[in-house]
Amino acid sequence: MATEKTLKELAEYLGGTVAGDEGKTVTGVASLDDAGGEQITFLANPRYASKVASTRAGAVVLPPGAERHGRNAIVVANPYLAFAKLLTLFHVAPRPPKGIMDGARIGQAVKVGGDVTVYPGATLGDGVTLGDRVTIYPGAVVYEGVTIGDDVTIHANAVVYQGCRIGNRVTIHGGTVIGSDGFGYAPDGEGYYKIPQLGIVVIEDDVEIGANTVIDRAALTATVIGRGTKIDNLVQIAHNCVIGQNCTIVSQVGISGSTRLGNRVTLAGQVGVAGHLTIGDNVMVGAKSGIPGNIPSGSLVSGIPAFTHREWLRSMAVVPKLPDMKKTVAALEKRVKELEEKLAAG
Please, is 280 exposed, middle or buried when counting C-beta atoms within 10 Å of its C-beta (0-12, 13-18, 19+)? middle
Neighbours of 148 (CB within 10 A): 27
Distance, in Å, from the CA atom of 332 to the CA atom of 228, rounded to the nearest integer, reads 58
Strand-strand pairing, 260-261 and 278-279: parallel
Quote the pLDDT of residue 164: 98
Whether 133 contacts 148, CB under 8 Å:
no
Neighbours of 236 (CB within 10 A): 15
Whether 227 contacts 207, CB under 8 Å:
yes
Whether 317 contacts 299, CB under 8 Å:
no
Please, is 140 exposed, middle or buried when counting C-beta atoms within 10 Å of its C-beta (0-12, 13-18, 19+)? buried
Quote the pLDDT of residue 1: 43
Residue 196: cis peptide before it, omega within 30 degrees of 0: no
Domains observed in the chain: 5-91 (3.40.1390.10), 99-310 (2.160.10.10)
Q: What is the pLDDT along the chain (346 residues), one digit of tens a residue?
A: 468 999 999 999 999 999 999 999 999 999 999 999 999 999 988 889 999 999 999 999 999 999 999 999 999 999 999 999 999 999 888 889 999 999 999 999 999 999 999 999 999 999 999 999 999 999 999 999 999 999 999 999 999 999 999 999 999 999 999 999 999 999 998 899 999 999 999 999 999 999 999 999 999 999 999 999 999 999 999 999 999 999 999 999 999 999 999 999 999 999 999 999 999 999 999 999 999 999 999 999 999 887 687 777 787 787 788 888 888 888 888 888 888 888 888 7
Strand-strand pairing, 300-302 and 307-308: antiparallel
Active-site residues, by number, are 239
Quote the pLDDT of residue 25: 95
Distance, in Å, from the CA atom of 326 to the CA atom of 345, rounded to the nearest integer, reads 29
- Pick the closest to residue 197 from 185, 187, 186, 182 (CA basis): 182
Give the pTM: 0.87
Distance, in Å, from the CA atom of 342 to the CA atom of 338, rounded to the nearest integer, reads 6
Distance, in Å, from the CA atom of 30 to the CA atom of 229, rounded to the nearest integer, reads 28
